[in-house]
Structure 1
Amino acid sequence: MHLQLRRIGNSQGIILPRPMLQQVGIDKEVDIEVVDGAIILRPAKQHPRDGWDESFAKATEAGYTPDDDLFEGMSSAFDQTEWQW
């Protein structure tokens, strides 16, 4: 499909046909990125952490386990000088 760029204020844009947007599930918002010289549009996730549970489950099944407390045994200047028990 060949579309013309249109001037929109100080920017440029295109008008995408409704059937095309419906086909990919784009309703109101999109995530956009540039990959290898191409502009990629995807339906915006309603909740940014959607899919995390499945990803963690797959990682656990693959043998990955959460690290212990990464800050254990580390101290900062605040810990050394200003913290009082």
Structure 2
Amino acid sequence: MLVSVVTIGNSRGIRFPKLVLDKLCVKDKMDMEVTEKGILLTPVNDLPRSNWAAAFCKMHKMK
């Protein structure tokens, strides 16, 4: 899919079609990784309190 790079303030960005964002369940964040082949964007699935169990276990061990 060919997309245009557009000016956004002093930066430049890409606008993603809503269908693509919905299909990948993108909310408001994506993880960006620069590779030798280009840029890899991965949706971030922030689940509230998803890491609490591990944090509580770690705190218990530090007691």
Q: TM-score range by the shorter chain?
A: 0.5 to 0.7
Residue identity matched to 1:23: K
Q: Secondary structure at the match of 1:22?
A: helix
- The residue correspondences of 1:30-41 to structure 2 (distance < 5 A) are 30-41=30-41
Q: Unmatched 5+ residue regions in structure 2?
A: 51-63
Query: What corresponds to 2:18 in structure 1?
Result: 18
Q: CA RMSD in A?
A: 2.2
The two structures have a TM-score, normalised by structure 2, of 0.63
Work out the number of aligned pairs and report it: 50
Q: Which has the higher strand share?
A: 2
Q: Unmatched 5+ residue regions in structure 1?
A: 51-85
The two structures have a TM-score, normalised by structure 1, of 0.49
Distance 1:29 1:41 in 2: 10
- The residue correspondences of 1:35-74 to structure 2 (distance < 5 A) are 35-46=35-46
Q: CA deviation at 1:44?
A: 1.4
Give the ranges of 4+ consecutive aligned residues of structure 1 lying more than 3 Å apart after TM superposition: none
Q: CA deviation at 1:26?
A: 1.0
Percent pairwise identity: 31
